[in-house]
A = this chain, B = another copy of it.
Amino acid sequence: MNSVGTVTPQRAAFDTPILLQGGVSLPAFELVYETYGELNAERSNAVLVCHALSGSHHVAGIYADQPDNIGWWDNLVGPGKPLDTNRFFVVGVNNLGGCYGSTGPMSLNPVTGKRYGADFPVVTVEDWVAAQARLADRLGIASWAAVVGGSVGGMQALEWTLQYPERVRHALVIASTPKLTTQNIAFNEVARQAILTDPDFHGGHFYEHGVVPARGLRLARMLGHITYLSGNQMAEKFGRELRHGKLSYGYSTDFQVESYLRYQGDKFTTYFDANTYLITTKALDYFDPARSYGGDLQAALARAKASFFVASFTTDWRFAPERSRELVYALLHNGRDVCYAEVDCDAGHDSFLLDDAQYHADVAAYLDRIET
Q: Which residues from chain A sit less than 8 Å from chain B, CB to CB?
A: 21-24, 121-122, 179-183, 185-187, 189-190, 192-194, 196-199, 215, 218-219, 222-223, 225-226, 231, 234-235, 237-240, 247, 249-251, 254-255, 257-258, 261-262, 265, 278, 282, 285-286, 288, 291
Contacts and interface: CB of A to CB of B under 8 A. Distances in A.
B223 A223 contact: yes
Copies, count: 2
Contacts of A251: 192, 196, 278, 282
B285 A185 contact: no
A258 B185 contact: yes
A197 B288 CA distance: 35
Given A190-B222, A190-B226, A247-B286, 7 more contacts: A24-B249, A180-B240, A185-B255, A186-B234, A190-B223, A219-B219, A240-B291
Contacts of A197: 215, 218-219
A249 B23 contact: yes
B219 A194 contact: yes
Given A197-B215, A219-B219, A249-B23, A186 B226 contact: yes
A282 to B, nearest CB: 8
A121 B257 contact: no
Nearest to A187: B226
A181 B235 contact: yes
Contacts of A257: 182, 185-186, 189
A189 B258 contact: yes
B261 A186 contact: yes
B22 A249 contact: yes
Q: Which of A199, A219, A278 has the most CB of B within 10 A?
A: A219
Minimum-distance CB pairs A-B, first 5: A22-B249, A182-B234, A183-B231, A122-B249, A197-B215
A183 B247 contact: no
Contacts of A278: 251
A240 B185 contact: yes
A215 B219 CA distance: 12
Q: Which of A181, A183, A239, A282 has the most CB of B within 10 A?
A: A183
Contact of A183 (B121, B181, B193, B234): B234
A21 B192 CA distance: 38
Given A190-B222, A251-B278, A231 B261 contact: no
Contacts of A219: 190, 193-194, 197, 219
A235 B122 contact: no
16 contacts: A22-B247, A181-B234, A182-B231, A182-B235, A182-B237, A183-B235, A185-B240, A185-B257, A187-B226, A189-B222, A189-B261, A193-B218, A193-B219, A193-B262, A197-B219, A223-B223
